[in-house]
Amino acid sequence: GTVAGPHPYPLLVRDFQAIIGKETRVQHLQQTGKLPDALVACVGGGS
């Protein structure tokens, strides 16, 4: 989601979305044996 809002909301969003990045990294390494050359992500889409 969007990181806008009063403290501590931005920190919560940062921490929860970090999990997505960590899982993506692990799964990609498991499936391909290497990290991707590029990664494209939606920013500020309210996802």
For the entire predicted model, the pTM comes to 0.66
Do 5 and 46 touch, CB atoms closer than 8 A? no
47 has pLDDT over 60: no
Could you tell me if 34 and 26 are in contact, meaning their C-beta atoms sit under 8 angstroms apart? Answer: no
Digit-coded pLDDT (tens) for 4-22: 889 998 899 889 889 988 9
CA nearest 32: which of 22, 21, 24, 40?
A: 24
Q: What is the pLDDT of residues 23-38, one digit of tens each?
A: 999 999 999 999 999 9
pLDDT of residue 23: 95
39 Cβ contact list (under 8 Å, min separation 6): 24
Residue 41 pLDDT more than 90?
Answer: no
Over residues 33-47, mean pLDDT = 81
